[in-house]
């Protein structure tokens, strides 16, 4: 599924399964067809108590971890992948379990493209 909203295309949207009060993550590819960059600066969903943009990183000793980032920039005429082991939308403290086949709604906020509503399938 691909959503075309002005100059922003969003494709390959999916979420991981998760348990109630646990966490999950949402992944996608964001394409910017404009000649200017755009910035994803906020995300919302009623599926979790908190929704944040996160980046996975390797700590000293090889241990993996992640931390919140304030925004991501989608380059002009380029794309930005949110994928396992990299950047992702973190769903923290789920309000209900997420099982394969479920669909969840999210709202993405871009500086130029504005508010874009998407649906992710749990896989």
The tens digit of pLDDT for each residue in 23-45 reads 999 999 999 999 999 999 999 99
Q: What is the pLDDT of residue 5?
A: 55
Predicted confidence band of residue 57 (pLDDT cuts 50, 70, 90):
confident
- pLDDT value of position 1: 47
In our burial notation (b when 16+ CB lie closer than 10 A, e otherwise), range 17-36 reads ebeeeeebbbbbebbbebee
Q: What is the pTM of this model?
A: 0.91
Written out in words, the top-level CATH class of the domain with range 2-122 is mainly beta
CA atoms within 13 A on the CB side of 4: 2
CA distance 11 to 30: 7
Angle value at C-alpha 83, between 80 and 87, nearest 5 degrees: 65
The token pair at 30 is 């964001």
In sign, the C-alpha dihedral spanning 36, 42, 47, 50 is positive
Look up residue 76 and give its two tokens: 């002009």
The structure tokens listed for 116 are 């874009």
């Amino acid at each position: 599924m691909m959503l075309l909203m002005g100059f922003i295309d969003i494709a390959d949207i999916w979420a991981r399964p998760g348990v109630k009060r646990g966490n999950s993550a949402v992944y996608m590819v964001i394409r910017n067809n404009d000649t200017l960059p755009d910035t994803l600066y906020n995300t919302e969903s009623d599926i979790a108590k908190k929704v944040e943009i996160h980046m996975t990183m390797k700590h000293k000793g090889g241990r993996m971890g992640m931390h919140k980032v304030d925004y991501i920039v989608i380059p002009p005429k380029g794309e930005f992948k949110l994928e396992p082991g990299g950047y992702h939308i973190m769903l923290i403290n789920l309000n209900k379990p997420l099982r394969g086949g479920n669909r969840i709604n999210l709202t993405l906020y871009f500086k130029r493209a504005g508010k874009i509503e998407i649906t992710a399938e749990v896989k």
